[in-house]
Amino acid sequence: MARLCTQMNPLLEERVLKRLHQRKIFTIVDILQENADKLIQITKLSYKEILQIRQNIIANYSAFPVKGIDAYNEILSNTALIPSGIESLDAMIGGGFLTGKIYEVCGSSGSGKTQLCLTVSAHIAHDFKQEVHYIDTKTDFSGKRVQEVLESKGYHDEVIGAVMERIRVTRIKDVYELFSFLQHLKTSLHHDQDGHHSVRIIILDSLPALFFPFLGKNLNDGKISLFFHCKRMSTYELPSYTVLYVMIHLLSGLTLMNQMANTMKYIVTEYHVTFLVVNLAMQLLEEENVAGDGSNECIPQDGNLVICDTMKPALGKYWLDIPCTRLFIHKINSTERRQIAVMKSTSLSTKKRCKVLINQKGVISALGSE
């Protein structure tokens, strides 16, 4: 816990804490940042005791170094490669999804992002006999579709029932519920960690739906709500600039996105799971002075101005570097053919592409992968 309490150190007695609280020193960060002389004044403890408290806190709360070889062995023994069950996709991403990483699937609406997630969750729940967590933000999850995919593989009804029992679907309506769920998941993963990994993949479909409600809040109308809050806040007799500063931060969805990314990264690294996140690709018409890369359709206009018709993932620049691999799925010509391309990756070549088909069997690999 970040708040100072009597259990942290025998020297931090009730009376000492009270004095610290009066001087607005509440958390371990506060006490580490405060000048030692001042702390002596406040707490009436000796210099030696203050140092002891600090060292104790640092020892308890800081990360400690591990030998490189130990870290390597730890990763080797705990990391797994989880095949998606779609041959051409697996070939492209090097065998499957690596645990400890966040993957993103992005594509325009109706391109098959949810279909991919449903198929992958059905495959993994069947092949690995493990639970798959599916976080559904816009009630897109379809049990009928999963059943259809499993049935088309020719499994028995009992097998299908057992597999579907292993797919755990949580429907959430806003980003705050996501936090509640992730915290809960974290605790439950922590309990059954010892040796066996009960959950290896968490699917989040879809992310932008959680953050669109924050759009435009810090633009034109942001000022209005800021003003509104300031008026209400004035009763607490604080310097107005503090209020302004805090409000700007609380209002923007960026804070929440940052916290969410942190929680996700914590879960994937600590409990060796994979996060598969769905993002929307939006078409943006941009005027740019430089030509885009080969994948974009660019037509030179007068002078050196170029209008690019690019598909860009939603959620802005901050989110761009959170996932380690971004897969871009898009329609090619016919209704059931799709191409999946690596858009960004820390480990794969971004030139890789593969082709898949979407039909009643779910997402299946098509011939002609490169």
Partner 1 sequence: MLRAVTSLPLPGSLHLRLRETGFVYYEDLCDGKGYGPEGNKLVKQWGIDEQLKRLASVPPTKSALDIWQEECTSPHIVTFSKAVDDLLDGGIVVGEITELCGAPGSGKTQMSLQVCVDVQIPRSFGGLEGEALFIDTSSGFTPARLKEMAEACVDHCQLVAFHQDQEDMGQQIENFTVDAVMQGVYYVATHDYVELLAAIYSINDFLHQKRQVRLVAVDSLAFPFRNGILNSLLRTRLLCDVMQELRMVAVKHNVAVLVTNQLTTKIGPGNSHLVPALGDSFGHYSNQRLMLGNLQRGRYAAVLFKSTRRQQSSAEFQILKSGIRDCSVSVK
Q: Is the dihedral of CA 215, 221, 226, 228 positive or negative?
A: negative
Start-to-end CA distance of the chain, whole Å, equals 51
Taking residue 187's Cβ as centre, other Cβ atoms within 10 Å add up to 9
Stretch that binds partner 1, among 72-80, 85-93, 211-219, 322-330 (CB under 8 A): 211-219
Is 360 a residue that touches partner 1 (CB under 8 A)? yes
Give 364-370 contacts, CB < 8 A, sequence gap 24+: 364/86, 365/86, 365/87, 365/88, 365/89, 366/88, 366/337, 369/88, 369/91, 369/92
- The minimum distance between CB 48 and partner 1, in angstroms, equals 26
- The minimum distance between CB 343 and partner 1, in angstroms, equals 17
Nearer to partner 1, 164 or 341 (CB): 164
**Cis omega (within 30 of 0) for bond into 234:** no
Residues that contact partner 1, how many (by CB under 8 A): 99
Is 295 a residue that touches partner 1 (CB under 8 A)? no
Is 173 a residue that touches partner 1 (CB under 8 A)? yes
- The minimum distance between CB 353 and partner 1, in angstroms, equals 22
Please, which of residues 303-342 interact with partner 1 by CB under 8 A? 307-309, 314, 335-336
Please, which of residues 124-143 interact with partner 1 by CB under 8 A? 133-134, 138-143
Q: What are residue 342's DSSP bridge partners?
A: 327
Please, which of residues 26-55 interact with partner 1 by CB under 8 A? 26-27, 30
Which one among 22, 77, 220, 349 touches partner 1, defined by CB under 8 A? 220
Is 161 a residue that touches partner 1 (CB under 8 A)? yes
Cα-Cα-Cα-Cα torsion 121, 127, 130, 131, nearest 10 degrees, comes to: 20
Give 349-358 contacts, CB < 8 A, sequence gap 24+: 352/92, 353/92, 354/88, 354/89, 354/91, 354/92, 355/88, 356/86, 356/88, 356/89, 356/112, 358/112, 358/115
* Contacts with 152 (C-beta within 8 Å, 6 or more apart), sequence order: 360, 361, 362
Which one among 35, 48, 64, 144 touches partner 1, defined by CB under 8 A? 144
Tokens found for residue 171: 């429907």
Is 3 a residue that touches partner 1 (CB under 8 A)? yes
- The minimum distance between CB 64 and partner 1, in angstroms, equals 17
Which one among 38, 44, 156, 184 touches partner 1, defined by CB under 8 A? 184
Is 255 a residue that touches partner 1 (CB under 8 A)? yes
Q: Is the dihedral of CA 352, 355, 265, 313 positive or negative?
A: positive
Which one among 53, 82, 124, 256 touches partner 1, defined by CB under 8 A? 256
Please, which of residues 262-281 interact with partner 1 by CB under 8 A? 262-263, 266-267, 270, 280
Nearer to partner 1, 47 or 212 (CB): 212
Element (H, E) at 205: strand 199-205
Nearer to partner 1, 98 or 247 (CB): 247
Which one among 176, 223, 291, 293 touches partner 1, defined by CB under 8 A? 176
Main-chain dihedrals φ then ψ at residue 226, nearest 5 degrees: -60, -45
Q: Is residue 122 within 8 Å of residue 364, measured between CB atoms? A: no
Which one among 10, 15, 21, 37 touches partner 1, defined by CB under 8 A? 21
Please, which of residues 81-120 interact with partner 1 by CB under 8 A? 108-110, 114-115, 118
